[in-house]
């Protein structure tokens, strides 16, 4: 399965995907990494792995739509079959999203549908949650709202802070994302009434 990964920053989830794809038995490969920020460290990670890495600046386009059309064209030129959002920090327009419906996934640092959007760990702490987690889900036009593919739940300690919680959750993200890609690549996912069913699922 050919992957296009979209990032904005440090790219640790991208790195997890690069590392997973380095295993010859892993059923996917990254063909292009796209960032909206030219200085994203994730672009370096891609180049170090010998993967095409490009940045697109919205400022160099006449509109958000034109900017996203350029990204779309790059993904299609590279033969991308699944778009993986990995810390891409802009909200994608509905035309772009509709063009990749069922072929674009995202990783989000909360147990969706709780805590869509930003500052998930801070909000979970403020609400006194005892668990948080991370979710890989299909992307639909509504933010962080598509069908859930995989999740990990992580207990919150009394002395956790935003930072300690982010540090606890991140290693689970790095396991969860390659796992979700593998499920898709192996065609083990069925969407029934917008709910993901996984063939041969063992929890
Ligand atoms: C991760 O926490 C991810 O869940 C969220 O953005 C962050 C990206 O981190 N969508 P990284 O760039 O993959 O290190």
Nearest CA to ligand 1 atom 10: 87
Helix or strand (DSSP H, E) at 124: helix 120-126
pLDDT (tens digit, 9 = 90+) per residue, 56-103? Answer: 999 999 999 999 999 999 999 999 999 999 999 999 999 999 999 999
Query: Tokens 């034109």 sit at which residue?
Result: 66
Q: Does residue 203 form part of some domain?
A: no
Number of domains in the chain: 1
For ligand 1, is residue 10 a contact (CB within 6 Å)? yes
Q: Does residue 115 form part of some domain?
A: yes
pLDDT of 201 above 90:
no
| Distance between CA atoms of residues 99 and 120, nearest Å | 28
Catalytic residue from among 61, 103, 108, 121? 108
- Rg over CA atoms, the chain: 17
**118 Cα: distance to centroid of ligand 1 (angstroms):** 11
- Report the CATH number at residue 127: 3.40.50.170
For ligand 1, is residue 133 a contact (CB within 6 Å)? no
| Distance between CA atoms of residues 10 and 43, nearest Å | 9
Q: Does residue 136 form part of some domain?
A: yes
Query: Tokens 């958000």 sit at which residue?
Result: 64
Distances (CA, A) of 184 to 92, 94, 119, 147, 171: 22, 23, 28, 13, 21
Q: Specify binding-site residues for (6R)-10-formyltetrahydrofolate.
A: 64, 89-92, 106
For ligand 1, is residue 87 a contact (CB within 6 Å)? yes
| Distance between CA atoms of residues 43 and 37, nearest Å | 9
Distances (CA, A) of 54 to 10, 59, 60, 144: 15, 15, 14, 25
Q: Pairing between strand 82-85 and 131-138?
A: unpaired
Nearest CA to ligand 1 atom 12: 11
Residue 103 annotated among the catalytic residues of the structure? no
Global confidence as pTM:
0.97
ipTM over 0.95: yes
Range(s) of the domain holding residue 117: 2-198
Q: Does residue 52 form part of some domain?
A: yes
């Amino acid at each position: 399965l050919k992957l296009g990964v979209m990032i904005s920053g440090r790219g640790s989830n991208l790195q997890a995907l690069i590392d997973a794809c380095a295993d010859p038995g892993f059923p996917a490969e990254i063909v292009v990494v796209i960032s909206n920020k030219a200085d994203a460290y994730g672009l370096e990670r891609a180049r170090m792995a010998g993967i095409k890495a490009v940045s697109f600046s919205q400022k160099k386009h006449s509109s958000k739509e034109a900017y996203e059309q350029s990204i779309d064209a790059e993904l299609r030129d590279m033969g991308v079959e699944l778009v993986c959002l990995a810390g891409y920090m802009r909200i994608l327009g509905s035309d772009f999203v509709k063009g990749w419906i069922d072929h674009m996934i995202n990783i989000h640092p909360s147990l969706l549908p709780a805590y869509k959007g930003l500052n998930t760990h801070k909000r979970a702490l403020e609400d006194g949650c005892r668990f948080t987690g991370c979710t890989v889900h299909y992307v639909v036009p509504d933010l962080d709202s598509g069908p859930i593919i995989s999740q990990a739940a992580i207990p919150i300690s009394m002395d956790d802070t935003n930072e300690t919680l982010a540090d606890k959750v991140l290693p689970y993200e790095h396991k969860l994302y390659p796992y979700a890609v593998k499920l898709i690549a192996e065609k083990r996912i069925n969407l029934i009434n917008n709910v993901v069913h996984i063939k041969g699922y063992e929890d």
